[in-house]
A and B are shown apart, each in its own frame.
Chain A
Amino acid sequence: MLEIKNLHASIDGKDILKGINLTVKAGEVHAIMGPNGSGKSTLAQVLAGREEYEVTEGEVLFNGKNLLEMAPEDRAREGVFLAFQYPIEIPGVSNVNLLKTALNEIRKYRNEEPLDSMDFLNMIKSKMSLVDMPNDLMQRSVNEGFSGGEKKRNEIFQMAVLNPALGILDETDSGLDIDALRIVANGVTKLRSPENAFVVVTHYQRLLNYIVPDYVHVLFNGRIIKSGDKSLALELEEKGYDWVKEHITEFVGQ
């Protein structure tokens, strides 16, 4: 589904990603872990098409298509979804309005008819239960006045409605208490299917207790320096990122 080959990216002339290689197949969950400043969020943003980042080398194929050549909206319409680390507040635009417009823009791109209001509402209702989304949040402006947990839940809820092929979760766990974390993670687990895939960017191992990854990658200084299965996350948790830093030459040498 997703093939990242030797991806280099920079912002304001500063190199952040220095040669990422990653292949994600349908049905898989990949966790990207790493210390602050390693480039985790940059990778997520570059995949979603944030214009501030400049891709200086490499390529990204999404279902065989060149992702880097697409505008952010076309990536979304092709099935890429980014759950933001810091979801944006949009005063004056209701949650329900955002979802309806987004869904219809995506359907239009795929030459599908717009959803009629009844079908839309029914679908929304069924997805709301997935993340225990309170009813009143639907009519409220997007993320405005939401608590940190509500914002993250809203991201997962949007993902559930838009039903992307690839969900990228950018530190969705940061700032969440354990209850909110559980709700968010259960939502993602319920969305897993053989047709879709997830890239879960996180600093901590605890999210991976709930979203069990097939692969864990350690990102450091713009490169993936070690990959493994879920036990790698536990090892990291136990030994800390200093352990990675100390053994960097060893890992890179492998």
Chain B
Amino acid sequence: MDKHKELKELFNKGFTSLENRLNGGTKGELHTYRKDALKRFNELRFPTIKDEEWKYTNISPVIAKYFKPSADSAVIADAKGVDRFFINRNDFIHLVFVNGRFSDELSFGWKETEGFTVTNLKTAIKDKPEIVSGYIGKNAVIEDNIFTALSSAFIEDGTFIYVNKNTVVEKPVHIFYVTNSNEEIMNAPRNLFIAGANSQIKVIESYEALSSAAYFTNVVTEIFLEEGAVVEHIKIQDEALGAYHIARTEVSQKKASNYLSYNVDFGGSIVRNNLHTRFDESGAENNLRGLYLTSGSQLVDNHTRIDHAMPHCLSHELYKGVLNDSSRAVFNGKVMVRKDAQKTNAFQENKNLLLSEDALVNTKPQLEIFADDVKCTHGATVGQLSKDSLFYLKSRGFSHDTAMRVLIYAFASDVVHAIDIPEIRDYLEKKIAEKLATGLEN
């Protein structure tokens, strides 16, 4: 396809200007990795709906655009107004990126640190190149995913977190990826979170926009949990409604570690999240919770994969969606229980509420179990609000609209109730109510 070739040429050109800009940065292991990634990007083809993994998500609108790598753009990243997104200015560590560029001015609370490093990736590449190279690309391999290959070829900045063993980071780390551009740009942030043995950290990743032109976020996040580490990870995707968002999050877990994920989607035109976790050692657990609220013609696709490679691990997954108008959602939840993963507990649930006749959800639980002594359940529901519940509330004097609103909100907000950062929980609850209110007006 010519379009595909053209797009590849565009990114190859972008890569050349990246190399020019990097100046001395083209030596070293990381740049070898970028070049490998570009090579792989050139070899792979863009997926179509004929590919099983992309069956319900047609990304041709993304490919139809000419997204420039953002750092290449002449647009000055204007950070004015970014502070409106801040949730707790005083007590959180803030890292702010505008159009993929780190804003030293807006980021704060991250310098005076002890036992852990929270910094932008560019700084980490300079200061700790051996650590960065030791981890990058180890969880998110470039071989099988063209978007990962593309994102990896353009690694420049992102967030780097390293928590030493036995260290508890008290302050939540809030990372903002904000787009403010009238040009069609691609942001390719790279996140690397390493939680040492018995360490604890809470990380919030927010995607926001100050502009409304189409843009493309192509983010890759790699998370490493050492033995006994506890990571709470909240991803809030509130991109502009015309934006494309492709996110890949790869998590590896050592013995007795615990990974908690909240993955909330509000914005975006076409959104694809791949969240993959792997138990590398026994006794670990994770809890994956997701919520997608869609309206208009939004498409939100969540692909999750939990790899039970080792015995005695527990995974608990709950994804919920509320779909309005002619929006669409995809949930594909793969749970692999390998031969040696005896005593696995894996629970998966996907529940959807369709508020409009034109809304559509494709849900597919996918269990592949090769061990025999395991407990695995899954369930998927797609439906409307219960008539009994509606009548019950009306019989107490609730108007039809109020009853609907209350029930839908209760259904959706359930996903975020267990977040133990109160400011974030409150923020999400409010945001859920707002998005539902605008969705219901139609």
Contact = CB atoms under 8 A, between A and B. Distances in A.
A175 to B, nearest CB: 18
A81 B399 CA distance: 15
B401 to A, nearest CB: 10
A106 B399 CA distance: 10
A224 interface: no
B1 to A, nearest CB: 47
A76 B410 CA distance: 23
Interface stretch (A26-34, A85-93, A196-204, A239-247): A85-93
Interface in A64-87: 71-73, 75-77, 81-82, 84, 87
B273 interface: no
Contacts of B406: 93, 97, 101
Contacts of B386: 88
Interface in B359-398: 386-389, 391-398
Contact of B395 (A82, A91, A97, A103): A82
- Judged by DSSP, the binding face of B is helix
Interface in A121-168: 141, 158, 162
Contacts of A162: 396-397
**Interface range on chain B: under 10, 10 to 19, 20 to 34, or 35 or more?**
20 to 34
Contacts of B387: 51
A90 B387 CA distance: 12
Contacts of A103: 397
Interface string B401-437: 0110011011101100000000000000000000000
A90 B391 contact: no
Interface string A83-126: 01001101111000110011101100100000000000000000
Contacts of B392: 84, 87-88, 90
B102 to A, nearest CB: 39
A51 B391 contact: yes
Nearest to B414: A92
A90 B397 contact: no
Contact of B397 (A51, A77, A92): A77
A76 B402 contact: no
B39 interface: no
B394 A73 contact: yes
Contacts of A50: 391
B398 A73 contact: yes
B5 interface: no
A76 B389 contact: no
Q: What band does the interface of chain A fall in when counting residues whose beta carbon is under 8 Å from B? A: 20 to 34
Given A88-B388, A88-B389, A105-B402, A98 B396 contact: yes
Contacts of B402: 101, 105
A105 B395 CA distance: 12
B128 interface: no
B414 A90 contact: no
Given A50-B391, A51-B391, A90-B389, A158 B396 contact: yes
A48 interface: yes
A73 B400 contact: yes
Nearest to B406: A93
Contacts of B389: 88, 90
A50 to B, nearest CB: 6
Interface string B184-197: 00000000000000
Given A88-B389, A105-B402, A93 B407 contact: yes
Contacts of A222: none
Contact of B414 (A77, A91, A102, A109): A91
A141 B392 CA distance: 14
A213 interface: no
A82 B394 CA distance: 11
Nearest to A76: B397
A187 interface: no
B414 A106 contact: no
A162 B397 CA distance: 9
A72 B395 contact: yes
A169 to B, nearest CB: 13
Contacts of B403: 73
Interface of A: 48-51, 71-73, 75-77, 81-82, 84, 87-88, 90-93, 97-98, 101-103, 105-106, 109, 141, 158, 162
Nearest 10 A/B pairs, CB to CB: A92-B410, A76-B397, A88-B392, A102-B396, A72-B394, A106-B397, A73-B394, A105-B397, A102-B397, A93-B410
23 contacts: A48-B395, A50-B391, A51-B391, A72-B394, A72-B395, A73-B399, A73-B403, A76-B396, A76-B397, A81-B395, A88-B391, A90-B410, A91-B414, A92-B409, A92-B413, A93-B406, A93-B410, A97-B406, A98-B393, A105-B399, A109-B397, A141-B410, A162-B397
Given A73-B399, A105-B402, 17 more contacts: A50-B391, A72-B394, A72-B395, A73-B403, A76-B394, A76-B395, A88-B391, A90-B389, A91-B410, A92-B409, A93-B406, A93-B407, A98-B396, A102-B398, A105-B399, A158-B396, A162-B396
Interface of B: 386-389, 391-400, 402-403, 406-407, 409-411, 413-414
